[in-house]
Amino acid sequence: MNVFYITGTSSGLGMALAEELLKNEDNHVVGISRNCELSHPNYVHKQVDLTDEVSTGKVRFGDHFKADKVFLINNAGTLGEIGYHGELDVSELADAYKLNLVAPAILINNFLNAYKDKEAEKIILNISSGASVAPYPGWGMYCATKAGLNMLTEVVKEEAEINDIKAFSIQAIAPGIVESPMQEKIRSTPKEKFDMVERFIEMKETGLLQTPEETAKMLVGHINSSNYNDPFVDLRELIASK
C-alpha cells in the first residue's frame, strides 16, 4: 500500500494527480486544501487553508503501519499578484509566500517528525517551476518562492543524510507549462504589468500547453520509476531523455 498526502487537490494538477493515482487500488490519497471536490473509497480530505500557518501546523500525518511508501507532494501554489515590486499589494505578497514556501516548509517538518523513524519508504516531492531558475519580471512572488522551495529541498536532502534517515528521498520537480487558471490569469494581464504576456498567448494558440491530466500521467510515471537522485528535475526533459 502507498499513501499520498497531496496539497491543492481541489483543482488543476493536484486534482488530476489524485485522480490518476486513485486508478491504482493500492494507492490511498489524503488531499489537503480548502475545498473537497473528490469522492473515492481510497480518498480522505483534510480541509485546510494553507495560507494560515497555524492551521497548516495542525496537519497531522497518520501512522500507516501497513504502508510500503508514504509520500508528501507539495503541489498547492499561486502565481500571486502579477506586477513589479513597488506596486504590489502587501497582503497578496504575504499570502503567496505563505502558500508557496511557508506551508511546504511546515508540512515537510511535520512529515519528517512523524515518519523519520518509520520503516516505510518516505518520499517528498515539491512541485517547483522553470521560473525557479529564471527571472520573470512581474512574477517576483512566484520566482522567489519556487527558488526558495528548490533550496529547501536541497537543505532537507543534506540534513537527512547527516541524520541518517533511512529510506528517504526528496526532490523538486518542474512539471512543465500546464493549462490552468494561472495560465488564464497570465494571458489576461496587461503588457505594462507583464511584458512577456504575448509569449504565453502564443503558447496557448500553438498548443504548447500541457493539460493537467497529461502532466499527472507523466508525474505518476516518474513516481513509479523511483528516480529521485537529483534534487531538482525538469519533468519534460526527464521524460524526453528516456
Could you list the active site residues?
142
For residue 236, the one-letter residue type is R
Cell reading at 234: 525538469
| CA 222 vs CA 145, 163, 227: distances in Å | 24, 26, 7
Cell reading at 8: 491543492
Segment holding 123, helix H or strand E: strand 121-127
Q: Where are the alpha helices (DSSP H) in 61-139?
A: 90-97, 103-115
> Residue 78 in contact with residue 99, Cβ under 8 Å?
yes
Q: Where are the alpha helices (DSSP H) in 102-170?
A: 103-115, 140-162
Helix (H, G, I), strand (E, B) or coil at 83: strand
How many other C-beta atoms lie within 10 A of the C-beta of residue 92?
14
Query: How many angstroms separate the CA atoms of 191 and 198, rounded?
Result: 8
Grid cell 499589494 is found at 89
Query: How many angstroms separate the CA atoms of 110 and 90, rounded?
Result: 28
Going by C-alpha positions, the residue among 101, 78, 81 that lies closest to residue 91 is 81
